């Protein structure tokens, strides 16, 4: 059977072998390479190679048995997600969502049917900006993740080029993500850059902090400054993650003797109950775009800052000053 596929904008730039694996899941890497070798896969009617990078508008022809050409069905499972996302900013390329504590960003092992990414897909589908039937490989994707019980800004890319650029900018620290957190006690000094080493115990879903480097642990660097101190002797901090490891803020500050209010894993459940904190008092509240290299179609974001205005624990924290 012959199948013809015209490469769309969001599929451009991919290797043809990886593109075909996504478009036709029944095809393995080995089958694709064999079909290319036999000239049963061509681009623009001409012979190609597995590493060829597709361009928008390329016409790919595939001659293979019907069983290998079953296309991936359109995914509409996201329509089961709940309605409603809090949008801080949106344009044709990106969406900044303010995630509430308690909501997963992606599906976990429990198979939750209501996640932030599914809500975003449903939102864009309803607006007519996303249709799985029209996409060969791409779906709106999150560029950063935060824990289920942490709230704050999550970046979603609406197209493949934006996703590629944002991933590079995050990797090279051309985006700054700042956090607010409320902690027990008052750190001294009031502003510092902390360095330690983190070991992730996956079986316990917990991390262990140490001042000693081992082959198993990884370096962490956490910057903080005290913004406020309330009458209960607790502090509001602004934190900048120089490294971004699992549970880094929670575990590192607890290791220094200042666990987050509401954090039962690294703090005190008794203290949390007494002070009425249901979730850890941690919020990814500010995002800054500071590009030092070419940002392509996202260049217009350079110099812009965005802030989440409804940080749930601020009023609770400040009541301590009454």
If pLDDT is split at 50, 70 and 90, which confidence band does 132 have? confident
What's residue 18's pLDDT?
A: 81
Among 65-74, 113-122, 233-242, the range of highest mean pLDDT: 233-242
Give the burial class of 169: count Cβ atoms within 10 A of its Cβ; 0-12 exposed, 13-18 middle, 19 or more buried.
Answer: buried
What is the enclosing helix (H) or strand (E) of 305? strand 305-307
Statement to judge: residues 210 and 317 lie in one domain:
yes
Using the predicted structure, report yes or no on whether residue 233 has a pLDDT greater than 90: yes
We report the CATH number of the domain holding residue 267 as 3.30.2350.10
pLDDT above 80: residue 112: no
Is residue 85 domain-shared with residue 64, that is, in the same domain? no
Name the domain boundary from 68, 95, 124: 68
Report residue 276 as tokens: 């009425």
Tell me, yes or no, whether 29 and 88 share the same domain.
Answer: no
Let me know whether 134 and 193 are in one domain: no
134 closest CA partner among 311, 240, 291, 8: 8
Q: Record the tokens describing residue 82, joined without a space.
A: 């709940």
82 Cβ contact partners less than 8 Å away, ≥ 6 residues apart: 114, 119
For residues 156 and 48, state if they share a domain. Answer: no
Question: Nearest to residue 35, comparing CAs of 54, 61, 67, 58?
Answer: 61
Does residue 214 form part of some domain? yes
Whether 205 maps to a domain, the answer reads: yes
Domain end (from 171, 201, 233):
171
Question: Same domain, yes or no, for 183 and 158?
Answer: no
Please check whether residue 304 lies inside any domain of the structure.
Answer: no
Q: What is the CATH number of the domain that holds 35?
A: 3.10.290.10
The model's pLDDT over 154-207, given as tens digits with 9 standing for 90+, comes to: 999 999 999 999 999 999 999 999 999 999 999 999 999 999 999 999 888 899
Does one domain contain both 186 and 123? no
pLDDT computed for residue 17 by the predictor: 86
The neighbouring-strand residues paired with 89 are: 96
Q: What would the pLDDT profile of 59-77 be if each residue is shown by its tens digit?
A: 888 888 877 776 655 557 7
Residue 249 resides in a domain:
yes
Q: State which residues form the domain around 103.
A: 77-171
Q: What is the mean pLDDT of residues 128-147?
A: 85
Q: What angle do CA 254, 202, 22 make, to 5 degrees?
A: 125
Q: 10 Å Cβ neighbour count for 56?
A: 12
Mean predicted lDDT score pLDDT of the chain: 90
254-304 pLDDT, tens digit each: 999 999 999 999 999 999 999 989 889 999 999 999 999 999 999 999 999
Same domain? For 140 and 234 the reply is no
299 part of a folded domain: no
Biggest CA–CA distance in the chain, Å, is 78
Q: Are both 14 and 45 inside the same structural domain? A: yes
- Per the domain annotation, does 89 fall within a domain? yes
267 falls within a domain: yes
In contact, 251 and 243? CB cutoff 8 Å: no
Q: Which long-range contacts (CB under 8 A, 24 or more apart) does 72-80 make?
A: 72/22, 72/23, 72/24, 72/25, 74/132, 74/133, 75/132, 75/139, 76/132, 77/113, 77/118, 78/117, 78/118, 78/119, 78/121, 78/122, 78/125, 79/122, 79/125, 80/113, 80/114, 80/118
Same domain (yes/no): 23, 63? yes
- In a domain, residue 302? The reply is no
Q: Is residue 194 located within the same domain as residue 277? A: yes
Give the total number of structural domains in the chain: 3
Q: Are strands 59-63 and 41-43 parallel, antiparallel or unpaired?
A: antiparallel
Same domain, 111 and 239: no
Q: Which of 40, 68, 96 is the last residue of a domain?
A: 68
DSSP character at residue 9: G
- Distances in whole angstroms, Cα of residue 172 to Cα of each of 153, 168, 242, 271: 19, 6, 11, 38
């Amino acid at each position: 059977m012959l199948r013809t596929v015209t490469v769309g904008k969001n599929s451009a730039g991919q290797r043809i072998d990886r593109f075909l694996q996504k478009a036709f899941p029944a095809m393995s890497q080995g089958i694709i390479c064999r079909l290319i070798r036999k000239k049963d896969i061509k681009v623009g009617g001409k012979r190609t190679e597995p590493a060829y990078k597709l361009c928008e508008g390329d016409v790919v022809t595939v001659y293979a048995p019907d069983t290998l050409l079953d296309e991936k069905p359109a995914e509409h499972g996201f329509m089961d997600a709940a309605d409603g996302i809090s949008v801080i900013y949106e344009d044709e390329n990106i969406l900044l969502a303010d995630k509430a504590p308690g909501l997963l960003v992606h599906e976990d092992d429990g198979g939750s049917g209501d996640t932030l990414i599914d809500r975003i897909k449903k939102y864009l589908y309803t607006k007519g900006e996303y249709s799985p039937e029209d996409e060969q490989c791409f779906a709106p994707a999150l560029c950063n993740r935060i824990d289920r019980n942490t709230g704050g800004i999550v970046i979603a890319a609406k197209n493949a080029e934006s996703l590629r650029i944002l991933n590079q900018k995050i990797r090279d620290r051309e985006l700054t993500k700042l956090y607010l957190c409320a902690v027990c006690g008052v750190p001294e000094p009031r502003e510092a850059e902390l360095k330690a080493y983190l070991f992730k115990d996956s079986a316990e879903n917990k991390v262990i902090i140490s001042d000693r480097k081992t082959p198993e642990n990884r370096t962490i660097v956490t910057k903080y400054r005290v913004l406020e101190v309330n009458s209960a002797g607790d502090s509001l901090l602004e934190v900048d993650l120089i490294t971004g490891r699992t549970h880094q803020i929670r575990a590192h500050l607890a290791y220094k003797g200042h666990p987050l209010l509401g954090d039962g894993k690294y703090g005190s459940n008794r203290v949390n109950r007494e002070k009425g904190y249901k979730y850890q008092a941690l919020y990814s509240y500010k995002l800054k775009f500071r590009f030092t290299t070419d940002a392509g179609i996202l260049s217009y974001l350079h110099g812009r800052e965005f802030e989440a205005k409804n940080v749930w624990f601020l009023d609770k924290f400040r009541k301590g000053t009454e």
